[in-house]
Amino acid sequence: MSSIGNSLRHHAALRPDHVAFIEGERRVTYRELDLLASGCARGLAEKGVGPGTRVAIVLPNSIEWVIAYQAILRAGAVPVPLNPLLADVEIEAILQDCEPAALFTRRSRGAANARWLVLDLEAEAADLLSSSAESSMPLPPCSPTDTAVILYSSGSTGRPKGVELTHYNLLWNAQAFAVDLLRLTPADRGYGVLPFSHVFGHTCLLTTFLYAGASVSLSPRFSPEETLRAIDRDRVTIFMGVPTMYWTLAKTEIPPGLDLSCWRACVSGGQALPEDVHARFEERFSVPISEGYGMTEASPSVCGARLFDARRKPGSAGQPYWGVRLRIVDEEGRDVPTGERGEILISSPGLAKGYFRRPDLTAATFRDGWLHSGDIGMLDEDGFLYVVDRKKEVIISGGYNVYPREIEEVAHRIDGVLEVAAIGEADERLGEKIVAYVVPEPGRKLLPEELIEKWSASLARYKVPREVRLLHSLPRNATGKVDRLRLRAMSQTFGKQT
């Protein structure tokens, strides 16, 4: 088996003039991208970058990002994509951990210092791409189990964790998404706003669309109006996003004159998509959303709600992809009956090689061929997975287990609520009391006591938040997920709002 980078070379030979990426007014074909990556790889080799080395990328989504990534693969090195929204101290911690031979970034970046060979495709284009017009550079031989990429957690908690995904992991995931879920053809066009440094954007979007020989319209950041304009302008067929993007799009006024008829499917991931938001979005745009379940350690896809000729169940993450097996177990590791909750264990062709230089953590997480996810879920009689919450985010209040998602689902059905996150806060009597952070819709006024009353009408008393705190926005980490750690830190100093 060849490198995952062979997708580019294959389509450069098969359909050389087909557009691979769009960035504003720029277009790059598969053939052009292949030559640019080859030239850049030769430049890397001249600087001593080759097999056995790692190269970090700290750039927003762009054609330069793709050139750098493909060039690293072509040089036989391992890409380490990092989100440019991370703080300099977070990036520095990851660089210390992975010890790259080089770093693609912009020289204004504070993390770029003399300890790393700093490469800037904008400033050094003539040097790095000087051989781009010569010929396509062959990919070095590799094994299916060789590390293809290292993807890091955001580093917001303790020591960063680098997940090593193999060429086989990525190839398996790409075919699952391209064939089983989306039925992609080269005529399809994705919208590349998910950061390629995160496994959702990296594997499900970038790797999958290259595998299918399709095109991607790139955007460095999410704007609801620009997203809708890009779908019209670039004839985007597939949108992938995190739930907050769907919340925003469902409420955004559609600019007049747009033709969105090309848009045929969406995928939601990163965290649970509230059922009300899901229904409201599909009703407004008549475009189906596939909600799935995955994690970086599974490369990431585990389950997905099939979009075509298949049954979907509201609130479910769908059924497993080919080759995936699931178990739901109790605290003792015993399988629980169908319909009961427990920890989700995963066996899959997508299971990561392990954590970079962390054999202890690898052994604790991957045991007896099963990935211990740390997520709570249940399987129904048809094999549909329902993800309840993160195991570590369960609130234990008065001896009862309370899952934040249950509270948040109810809140999204309350008129005037834009976003919500529930956490547990230390309480002398209850152990933990439930605190809900709520973001009102612009121009709307919400009263905490009225929200509590609405929760009380839909939830058992022990699940109802004891306190509601109103915010202008929820804190999020670099991948767009709600940062519950920061919420817990805020809760220590947050005064009660009335």
Domain boundaries, the chain: 6-379, 394-491
Q: Is the per-residue pLDDT at 66 higher than 70?
A: yes
| C-beta of residue 365 within 8 angstroms of C-beta of residue 340 | no
- Cα separation, 404 vs 434, in Å, equals 9
* Inter-CA distances, 343 with 225, 325, 470, 482, Å: 39, 14, 32, 22
How large is the average pLDDT for residues 313-323? Answer: 94
Among 271, 265, 217, smallest CA distance to 247 is for: 271
Contacts of 363-368 spanning 24+ positions with Cβ under 8 A: 365/297, 366/297
- Cα separation, 431 vs 171, in Å, equals 46
pTM of the full predicted structure?
Answer: 0.85
pLDDT of residue 116: 79
* Inter-CA distances, 368 with 145, 287, 346, 362, Å: 18, 41, 11, 12
Q: What is the enclosing helix (H) or strand (E) of 290? A: strand 289-294
Secondary-structure percent of the chain, ordered helix, strand, coil, rounded to 5: 30, 25, 45
Q: Is the per-residue pLDDT at 494 higher than 90?
A: no
User: What is the residue-averaged pLDDT of the chain?
Assistant: 90
Q: What is the enclosing helix (H) or strand (E) of 54? A: strand 54-57
Q: What is the enclosing helix (H) or strand (E) of 421? A: strand 417-427
pLDDT of residue 155: 41
Q: Is the per-residue pLDDT at 276 higher than 90?
A: no
Fold of the domain built from segment(s) 6-379:
Rossmann fold (3.40.50)
Q: Is the per-residue pLDDT at 63 higher than 80?
A: yes
pLDDT of residue 476: 85
Q: Is the per-residue pLDDT at 496 higher than 80?
A: no
397-420, pLDDT tens digit by residue?
877 778 888 899 899 899 999 999
3-state class of 108 per DSSP? Answer: coil
What superfamily does domain 394-491 belong to in CATH?
ANL, C-terminal domain (3.30.300.30)
Please tell me if the domain spanning 6-379 has the same topology as the one spanning 394-491. no
| C-beta of residue 305 within 8 angstroms of C-beta of residue 290 | yes
155-214, pLDDT tens digit by residue?
434 577 999 999 999 999 999 999 999 999 999 999 999 999 999 999 999 999 999 999
pLDDT of residue 1: 52
Among 239, 229, 290, 289, smallest CA distance to 260 is for: 229
pLDDT of residue 391: 75
- Cα separation, 257 vs 275, in Å, equals 30
pLDDT of residue 479: 67
- Radius of gyration of the chain measured on its C-alpha atoms: 23
**Between 275-285 and 243-251, two packed helices, what is the crossing angle to 10 degrees?**
50
Of all residues in the chain, what percent carry a pLDDT higher than 70?
95
Which residue do the tokens 């973001």 mark?
439
Polymer length of the chain? 498
Residues 6+ apart with CB under 8 A from 453: none
Q: Which residues of 437-463 are buried (b: 16+ CB within 10 A; e: fewer)?
A: bbbbeeeeebebeebeebbeeebeeeb
Of all residues in the chain, what percent carry a pLDDT higher than 90?
72
- Cα separation, 352 vs 358, in Å, equals 13
277-314, pLDDT tens digit by residue?
899 999 999 999 999 999 999 999 999 999 988 899 98
pLDDT of residue 284: 96
- Dihedral angle of Cα 69, 73, 78, 79, to the nearest 10 degrees: 10
pLDDT of residue 431: 76
103-150, pLDDT tens digit by residue?
999 865 544 455 778 888 877 777 777 767 678 889 999 999 999 999
Higher pLDDT, 389 or 94: 94
pLDDT of residue 107: 65
How large is the average pLDDT for residues 51-62? Answer: 95
How large is the average pLDDT for residues 53-64? Answer: 96
Residue 251 class from Cβ within 10 Å (0-12 exposed, 13-18 middle, 19+ buried)?
middle
pLDDT of residue 108: 56
- Cα separation, 109 vs 132, in Å, equals 27
How large is the average pLDDT for residues 474-489? Answer: 82
Q: What is the DSSP letter of 267?
A: E
Q: What is the DSSP letter of 154?
A: -
pLDDT of residue 68: 96
Q: What is the enclosing helix (H) or strand (E) of 292? A: strand 289-294
